[in-house]
Structure 1
């Protein structure tokens, strides 16, 4: 029976989402995001038109920063979408499950062991720790008998707080507290040519998520349903956890923490378009890029010539949206 149902379930989801991938509205969304990215390219204190080395500064700072906005925004939004499917909970994402804190702990451990480690080594440590932390969160989740919508993120936030406290203690003992604060600031200020290229790894993560999107959708229906249609549920959970860990670890190393982006974007898209992962992916990516870019533009201009970390703007916006989502669910309940 499971062999018969497998192609019907997975391929059926693919057929339903195939027609929804490319729509006229999507072109409008792409145009709006492109306009925001163009604005990002030409926003800054340094005069790239009047300066003697304006062209060089444009290539060194503005282009890498804009590319980083695209990759980081899309990666964290997609990570939130996958995590919400796998946990069957709309209130989880890497910063509400402790994944970001675990990535920071891994980065801190690498810096203590090898202060002169390359960015690839730092990234590997962050990804490994994020994977372990996410798996621990899922193991805790299996032990929680009450899985109400707010119970799951509360468990994740508590785990993240414990890991964050451990990181702070270790950083204090090793005189790296200031470095830890800078890593978690969540800012694109330090994104320069030669220091951001590892972010392209998250583009590959996006491709893999798109290729296995239908399986994530089926896994999101629960272990019993996924097993009945012939899907290896635990394998898909491992793949999803690995992809989330890679995206979170890479973004944490290069940019820092981007809170709530993986929470608000999938929820907004799902409210408008439903829960089809493959059909929603382009919209999730576009909205994630747009929100991060707008917040970065606000951070660059609000107290110019100084900058406000984008994580601060995202934290304020994300907290407001989170509260609105909780109140909306209470009204519906």
Structure 2
């Protein structure tokens, strides 16, 4: 009997079964966090009250379900964009918030607030996406103009570039008394998510799905331009597709809920330690872990000072900074 148990346990250590076990565990954690997100809030509701109380059902459908859906969509999309960008740039320490993409999206959004104050959400989305696309392209051009001997150079360059754009954005917003509006747009906060105010995130989900379909091309491009050409790819075209997908998703998330810092940096790095650099294999787990991390940080922000809330941009920023330092120190040690 003991030998059978030992043999069964050893089977789960094999790569095939280990992958299935990790996938099942990740989905189970995501399901538990999603259920907790639906039930936790300033107004507590339970499964029994949902069945018997009309007001509880209204809270569920108007507030809790949309918020949970927004958290899952934004978290999964942000994490996948981080993984794609890291393959395009060939650097583990970049993501949209450390390469100026988010700051440029904010600049495009500010231009919309200045010149098109009554614009529809889709127009604001287009301006934010256009700003993100231009900013990402400028960052890639800057990378070609500097010496990249250190792997820390791209994120440092991106942070400096984003800081310049962000400072200019803040200065313009201050001059035109738009600081409060800009802060509200750029700070990741899901407390304002209600039914009818998050559906743009489905556009981000569609663009993210396109990124998953092109995952093999991004993986090959990460091996170098010469390798990509040798395998029949056009590196410039694949790069343009990756930039367009990243800019679209970033613009949608900034306009809808505000971009979540560090999420696209830490989750792909953690998953890459388990699954390697093949995006086709790793992106489902990246999406699941990104959504779970977003749900967990949002729940923490809701519970620590209940019934008040801390924006997820604060909780994820603190957690992401700690994990980022751990990644840097562990890489240096190796």
Q: Distance in 1 between matches of 2:303 and 2:33?
A: 14
Task: Indicate the residue corresponding to 1:5 in structure 2.
Answer: none
Report the Cα offset of residue 218 of structure 1: 0.3
Asked if 1 retains the 8 angstrom alpha-carbon contact of 2:81 and 2:208, the reply is no
Report the Cα offset of residue 47 of structure 1: 3.5
Q: Distance in 1 between matches of 2:303 and 2:112?
A: 35
Task: Indicate the residue corresponding to 1:116 in structure 2.
Answer: 118
What is the aligned counterpart of 1:188 among 178, 182, 190?
A: 190
Task: Indicate the residue corresponding to 2:143 in structure 1.
Answer: 141
* C-alpha RMSD over aligned residues: 1.6
What is the aligned counterpart of 2:95 among 93, 96, 99?
A: 93
- Length-normalised TM-score, structure 2: 0.91
Residues 1:302 and 2:309 are matched in the alignment: no
Alignment partner of 2:200: what SS? helix
What is the aligned counterpart of 2:31 among 20, 29, 34?
A: 34
Q: Which has the larger radius of gyration?
A: 2
Alignment partner of 1:246: what SS? helix
Task: Indicate the residue corresponding to 1:244 in structure 2.
Answer: 246
Q: Aligned pair count?
A: 314
Q: Distance in 1 between matches of 2:76 and 2:282?
A: 12
Asked if 1 retains the 8 angstrom alpha-carbon contact of 2:98 and 2:162, the reply is yes
Report the Cα offset of residue 206 of structure 1: 2.1
- Length-normalised TM-score, structure 1: 0.91
Q: Distance in 2 between matches of 1:209 and 1:24?
A: 26
Q: Could you list the per-position Cα deviations for residues 245-297 of structure 1 after superposition, in whole angstroms to 9, with x for gaps in the alignment? A: 01111001111121000000000000112111000011000000010100000
| 62-71 vs 182-191, which moves further | 182-191
What is the aligned counterpart of 1:214 among 200, 213, 216?
A: 216
Report the Cα offset of residue 52 of structure 1: 5.7
Q: Which runs of 5+ in 1 are unaligned?
A: 1-18
C-alpha change, 1:234 and 1:106, in structure 2 (3 Å) is same
